[in-house]
Amino acid sequence: MQKLEVFGAKKLKGQVKISGSKNASLPILAATLLSNKKVYLKNLPKVKDIETMINLLQSLGSKIKFNKKNLIINNFKQNKNYASYKLVKTMRAGILVLGPLLAKFGNAKVSLPGGCAIGSRPVDIHLKALSKLGVSYKIIQGYVHASAPKGLIGSKIRFSKISVGATENLIIAASLAKGITVLSNCAIEPEIKDLTNFLNKIGCNIKWIAKRKIKIFGVSEVNEANYTVMFDRIEAGTYLIAAALTVGNLKIQNVIPKIIQNEINTLKKIGTKISVKKNEIHIIGNKKIKNLNIKTAPYPGFPTDLQAQIMVLLCKANKNSIIKEDIFENRFMHVAELNRMGAKISINSNKALVEGNTSFEAAELMATDLRASVSLILAALTAKGKSVINRIYHLDRGYENIEKKLKKIGAKIRRVN
Ligand code: EPZ
């Protein structure tokens, strides 16, 4: 099992290039199943979850190869509609193949994703909405057996709760449905806009008609196309927080600043100096960090995927802060590890009280989930001495070349077996 050794305390200085978005790439990869022609994708991040999704598509019969910067997906002979637990259990976004498989074949057998460290990850909203498109389904031994004998029929659907995955699954499924589908109370994360841009590029007909409302005119087939996936806004937010934490001076490149305006405003409130250019954010840390109460919320609110990272920063604030996790039921797994490093964080249901003016001591640590693991690296960067982080396979699911990128901006970090 690989570990990371991090030697603090270090200031981060220089430039870092942000990779493509994992959470935009996954639904777009699933959506390529709608096509039986070639699709060329650029800027996919080299992370484990993307590899898993590619393996899942290949298990469904997609022919996939890399050349230069393009991932080429050829679904001409893609003919399977069974997504196994073996692949879906390690990456919950595997459920996103359900919509396209139903749209293409009219029936599918897809493993339920199962839970993970941050929550039970149910898919009831996906399934309820799909049934409004004419899908009937049964759950048998952990699999969704779904079918739409008359094909998918367009309909008006309002999501009972904002869900990124359910919105993505339904947009993809409705793209080939007969007639018009209107989806209301949609999630509007930038990754979903990237998905609708991709779908329109391959010939679908999708229009955003209000803030959380989308109208989809079903088409009978889609074309060949090439598409470049957007930047990873959570990776960008992670490096911004890392610069603030280490009182560094960092230029974050290959980004569209306005997409993470909320995070930029939050970090300005906390006391950092930030200036932006077209595709770059320049952040200069400040020794004095002001406390701030944070509540995670669907976009454009503060992202739950940056909650663990901002918590580390608020441990260094001048006063106490409260962080409310309103999206997932168990996303404080990083707190116990941070407290072992000297933080003083107490949890009361979905609220964490973060004491300010604390400093981190180096320690041996255990990663529990993707974003918790990166928060441990952030804390270790500010702690004098050597910290060791175990189970870094969590990290490799969503951060491309993280040691290389951190080393290039001044961190002392190495991977050991
Ligand atoms: C996506 O997960 C992201 N994953 C998550 O990022 C992100 O944290 C989350 O959206 C929220 O922004 C990908 O895009 C691959 P949801 P998703 O459906 O789609 C409940 C990361 O670190 N819910 O918006 O699973 C659910 O349990 C990952 O990159 C239901 O109850 O999130 C959660 O409490 C972690 N029933 C809330 O809604 C459902 O059918 C939001 O979930 C679906 C969801």
What digits encode the pLDDT tens for the residues 150-161?
899 999 999 999
Using CA positions, which residue lies closest to atom 5 of ligand 1?
305
N-to-C CA span, the chain: 6
pLDDT at residue 3 above 90?
A: yes
Q: Above pLDDT 70, what percent of the chain?
A: 100
Per-residue pLDDT tens over the stretch 44-96: 999 999 999 999 999 999 999 998 789 999 999 999 999 999 989 888 999 99
Report CA(412)–ligand 1 centroid distance (Å).
33
Longest Cα–Cα distance of the chain, Å, equals: 64
pLDDT at 117: 79
Distance CA 24, CA 182 (A): 22
Measured at the alpha carbon of residue 259, what is the angle toward residues 256 and 261, in degrees to the nearest 5? Answer: 110
Using CA positions, which residue lies closest to atom 8 of ligand 1?
305
**Which is it for strands 321-324 and 294-295: parallel, antiparallel or unpaired?**
parallel
Report CA(119)–ligand 1 centroid distance (Å).
9
| Residues framing ligand 1 (Cβ under 6 A) | 23, 26, 92-93, 119, 121-126, 161, 163-166, 187, 304-305, 327-328, 370-371, 398
Using CA positions, which residue lies closest to atom 44 of ligand 1?
163
pLDDT at residue 114 above 80?
A: no
Q: Are 218 and 206 in contact (CB under 8 A)?
A: no
Ligand 1 atom nearest the C-alpha of 328 is 34
Per-residue pLDDT tens over the stretch 336-364: 999 999 999 999 999 999 999 999 999 99
Report CA(37)–ligand 1 centroid distance (Å).
30
DSSP result, 83-149:
E-HHHHTT-GGGGGGHHHHHHHHSEEEEE----BTTB----HHHHHHHHTTT-EEEEETTEEEEE-T
pLDDT at 68: 78
Per-residue pLDDT tens over the stretch 203-232: 999 999 999 999 999 999 999 999 999 999
pLDDT at 89: 87
Residue to probe by mutation, ligand 1, list 121, 186, 260, 368, most atoms within 8 Å of CB: 121
pLDDT at 69: 85
Q: Are 2 and 45 in contact (CB under 8 A)?
A: no
Q: Which active-site residues does the annotation give?
A: 116
Ligand 1 atom nearest the C-alpha of 126 is 40
pLDDT at 384: 94
Ligand 1 atom nearest the C-alpha of 168 is 19
All domains of the chain, ordered by start, with CATH?
Answer: 3-19+231-416 (3.65.10.10), 22-228 (3.65.10.10)
Report CA(174)–ligand 1 centroid distance (Å).
20
Q: Above pLDDT 90, what percent of the chain?
A: 94
Ligand 1 atom nearest the C-alpha of 327 is 34
Using CA positions, which residue lies closest to atom 34 of ligand 1?
328
